[in-house]
Structure 1
Amino acid sequence: MRLFEKMYARVMRWSQQPQAPYALAGLSFVEAFAFPVMPEIMLAPMALAKPERAFGYANLSLLCSILGSLVGYALGHYLFDALRPLLADLGWLPTIEHWVGLLRSKASSHPWSVFGMLVLAGFVPVPMKFFTWASGIVGLPLLPFVASMAVGRGKRVWLLAWLIRSFGIRAEQMLRRYSEWVGWTLLVLVVVVLGWWWHHH
């Protein structure tokens, strides 16, 4: 069954549609405070379809992610107590409280001491919303928060854009040829990561 080959062809066709940048912007914005799907899932095929626009798409995703992170910060800062039951029902509360404890311990020494932690957070496969909510709950100063979000998420989308801009045609040809193997491999990796995360949290 050639499941991922057909899916890849469909995604590549869709990524060339005029409305694709709007969808990328919306996903990047919402993912920063609510949605669990990383925007790179849309950014990659869009950049592959049009490598000359890879950095433009990356910058669009980054800008919307930063705006979304401010929404997550505000929700955590002003509405955390009111939304606590909802967060508990969603299963987010333990993870958010875990990061609140870490950020609070770092911030007690100096606001910029959490910068490195948040930069690293932007590069690990943990949903960004946990860090944006936790930062708002702790009340981190906005300048270190926005700077860390920009660097943390920026290095991800810019690295992806650079790779596709540099190897776009060859990468697209390889992905098209081996899309089935890549798809099933990524699916197995996702299951393994989710299993590890569930086991340790």
Structure 2
Amino acid sequence: MLRRIYDWCLDAADKPYALWILAAVAFAESSFFPVPPDIMLAPMSLARPKRAWLFAAVCTVASVLGGILGYAIGALLYDSVGHWLITLYGLGDKVEAFRESYSHWGALIILVKGLTPIPYKLVTITSGFAGYNIWLFVLFSVITRGGRFFIAAVLLNRYGDWIRVRMEKHLGLAVAILVAVLVAGFVIAFKMI
């Protein structure tokens, strides 16, 4: 199954619908979806290293727009949808502590957590809930999400052939590492919040 998904992403890199799917995953991941766009960004960039910049730009724009939706969920719908999403991830009792930290460290929280495997939806929803300045939130989201996706684009563009050979040889290990990083992100989120 992993091989089929990986091969589909490689094959889809030139198809027009691939950018829309990549954008949808990046958008959803910033507000409610648990799977990061990296699962499509990496194979698509490996298939077409020269398009890695385009793929990173699509992820950045869609992720920031999804972040604005997450912000709106926190600001306007926290009592219903926002609280439900935070509770779904098991962080309902820790939101107040996270909200308090925004009064002192809001910019740093957005910048650091946007680069890490910590689920960004937690940052977007809590930013809205905490009433963090929307324009600063968008600016920091562009910086941090763009940084994350363009660092991947640089690496995949420059070392794509080398990475692709190793990824295809050890696909199971690569997926296991990705899952471990995601799980570590959730664990870190639980410990930090």
Class of the TM-score when normalised by the shorter of the 2 chains: 0.7 to 0.9
Q: CA deviation at 1:84?
A: 5.9
Q: CA deviation at 1:128?
A: 1.2
Give secondary structure in 1 for the equivalent of 2:117. coil
Structure 1 residue 179 corresponds to structure 2 residue 175? no
What is the aligned-residue identity percentage? 28
Structure 1 residue 98 corresponds to structure 2 residue 98? no
Aligned to 1:55: 53
Query: What TM-score, normalized to structure 1?
Result: 0.81
Give secondary structure in 1 for the equivalent of 2:36. coil
Aligned to 2:73: 75
Report the aligned-residue RMSD: 2.8
Give secondary structure in 1 for the equivalent of 2:40. helix
Aligned to 1:25: 23
CA contact (8 A) 2:73 2:125 kept: yes
Q: CA deviation at 1:170?
A: 2.0
Structure 1 residues 39 and 103: CA distance shift in structure 2, 3 A: same
CA contact (8 A) 2:110 2:140 kept: yes
One-letter amino acid of the structure 2 residue matched with residue 20 of structure 1: A
Structure 1 residues 192 and 153: CA distance shift in structure 2, 3 A: closer
Q: What are the ranges of 5 or more consecutive residues in structure 2 without an aligned counterpart? A: none
Q: Distance in 2 between matches of 1:46 and 1:86?
A: 33
More deviation, 4-13/48-57: 4-13
One-letter amino acid of the structure 2 residue matched with residue 114 of structure 1: G
Deviations 1:4-61 (A, max 9, x none): 4555334322344331111001111111111000011111111111110101110111
Structure 1 residue 162 corresponds to structure 2 residue 159? no
Q: CA deviation at 1:176?
A: 2.0
One-letter amino acid of the structure 1 residue matched with residue 91 of structure 2: T
Deviations 1:63-109 (A, max 9, x none): 01111111111111111123366347x524x52562443343442x5
Q: What are the ranges of 5 or more consecutive residues in structure 1 without an aligned counterpart? A: none
Structure 1 residues 30 and 120: CA distance shift in structure 2, 3 A: same
Q: Distance in 2 between matches of 1:128 and 1:195?
A: 10
Give secondary structure in 1 for the equivalent of 2:170. helix
Q: Distance in 2 between matches of 1:198 and 1:176?
A: 31
Aligned to 1:138: 130
CA contact (8 A) 1:96 1:130 kept: no
Structure label with greater radius of gyration = 1
Alignment partner of 1:64 out of 62, 76, 81: 62
CA contact (8 A) 1:120 1:152 kept: yes
